[in-house]
Structure 1
Amino acid sequence: ATLPGAVIGSYLAHYFTNRSFYISFGFLLIAIALLLYFNTKPETDSSCNKDTFQYNRILGTSLSILVGFLSSIFGIGGGIIHVPAMIILLGFQTHTATATSHFVLAVSSAFGVATHSLLGNILITPALVIGSGVILGAQLGAYIAPKTNSRSITLLLSLALIILGLRMIVSTII
């Protein structure tokens, strides 16, 4: 479901000026951080029974289209939007939301990359260098996450999003 949003977002990214991009993205990050911080309930179990877990599939599909769109416009993997939304709106537990989001976004990112590539938006050498760091960091994060309290992960993510959002807004205005 993220694919249509990823393709449309890739095309619409051309219409943002640098200033409007940074301000819009900064406010998006802050909004997500506040929603995540104030709406996360303590979890009693970090596991999820795959056979009995229920969620609103229509809301999940709609959410994925929006995530694909926003992640393609802002050039993010989408997990920064997807994981908080899965926790808050769909009732996923933090660890399950993270793993599920990785799977969904790996597929949709490929389509966003293909579209941006066709549009000539990608600088190959920097993408490969930065991508290698992401691969290493993802392995470390996947190793550490199950050993970390879900609420701690949520608080750190909220704090990081607020700092990044404020930095983007302030650096654009000043």
Structure 2
Amino acid sequence: MALVLLLILGVVAGVLGSLLGLGGGVVLVPALLSLSGLWGEVFTPQEAVGTSLAVVAATGLSSTLAYLRHGKVDVSSALFFFLASGPGAAVGVWANRFLDGQRFFLLFGLLLVSLFFLLAVRDRIRPRPGRWTVVRTLKTPEGEVTYGYRRRVALPVAFAVGFLSGLFGIGGGALMVPVMILAFAFPPHVATATSLLVILLSSAIGTAVHTAYGHVHWHDVLILAPGAWFGAKAGARLALRLSDASLVFVFRLALLALAGRMFWEGLA
């Protein structure tokens, strides 16, 4: 029973998470908390976050390697962002320890509502070139594309992404990618690929710290991760067959439903 439920949960999280590149943690954390005790195993918010983050790190590895093989990742920028996102993830894990169930439910609900509104405006995001201290040039079939960033802006953003990753057990791409496109003028595919490497490294740090605190149910990760991996592959194929508008509409409904569940738990 537990094996089947975890496999199904992993697949669903992988499919929904990969459709819009938000990561399976957005689905996994509320699901683990809502289903806690159903198969005789109870998750605290800290354990749900730690377990989710381990799955995010494991499943994100294959996507990152694929982008690396195709040369879509700006590795030097990703490593620079990681200088802030890594410590941010560790601080997020530390802060997570002080959240009781009620506060965690309410804060996670607010996060999901924020993602709901972010999805509503993300298609309107347009690059805004500025005074960059780091400039990159990328050759594409359409010609050369120039983008860059200011270090003093990039580091706080990367820290925030790492913090959210460690605090809530999510990838953080929902915040990282729009900022990279809007503020740094990254081409969308480069922003997505580069953010995946940043998130992978941050998730690995967060997972290590959560493991040190005893928050990761590794026996569940070993079941969830394969399901999420296959689900992510299926979600990527499904995304090619659906229009962007359909994807956003379905996922925004899912976010509202999950947020409602979190608020219900937090206010109960």
Bucket of the pairwise TM-score, normalised by the shorter protein? 0.7 to 0.9
One-letter code of the match for 1:128? Answer: L
Map of 1:52 onto structure 2: 145
One-letter code of the match for 1:52? Answer: V
- TM-superposed deviation, 1:152: 3.8
Gapped regions of structure 1 (runs ≥ 5): none
| Matched ranges for 1:34-45 at <5 A | 34-41=117-124
Distance 1:23 1:68, change over 3 A: same
- TM-superposed deviation, 1:148: 4.2
Map of 1:8 onto structure 2: 91
- TM-superposed deviation, 1:82: 3.2
1:29 to 91, 112, 116: 112
Deviations 1:22-69 (A, max 9, x none): 1011101101211330353289xxxx9495142434434322210110
Map of 1:168 onto structure 2: 262
Distance 1:42 1:106, change over 3 A: closer
- TM-superposed deviation, 1:170: 1.9
Q: Which moved more, 1:82-91 or 1:99-108?
A: 82-91
Greater share of residues in strand: 2
TM-score, with length taken from structure 2: 0.54
- TM-superposed deviation, 1:161: 2.2
State how many pairs are aligned. 170
2:230 to 120, 131, 136: 136
Q: For residues 36 and 86 of structure 1, what CA distance do their matches in structure 2 show? A: 15
Distance 1:51 1:36, change over 3 A: same
Map of 2:173 onto structure 1: 79
Distance 1:28 1:117, change over 3 A: same
| Matched ranges for 1:59-78 at <5 A | 59-78=153-172
1:30–1:161 CA contact under 8 A, matched in 2: yes
Greater share of residues in helix: 1
1:19 to 64, 78, 102: 102
One-letter code of the match for 2:90? Answer: V
RMSD across aligned positions (CA): 2.9
- TM-superposed deviation, 1:120: 1.4
Q: For residues 167 and 210 of structure 2, what CA distance do their matches in structure 1 show? A: 10
Q: For residues 116 and 255 of structure 2, what CA distance do their matches in structure 1 show? A: 6
Q: For residues 104 and 155 of structure 1, what CA distance do their matches in structure 2 show? A: 27
Q: For residues 124 and 235 of structure 2, what CA distance do their matches in structure 1 show? A: 22
Q: For residues 186 and 242 of structure 2, what CA distance do their matches in structure 1 show? A: 17
Gapped regions of structure 2 (runs ≥ 5): 1-81, 127-138
Map of 1:120 onto structure 2: 214
- TM-superposed deviation, 1:130: 1.3
1:13–1:72 CA contact under 8 A, matched in 2: yes
Distance 1:42 1:16, change over 3 A: closer
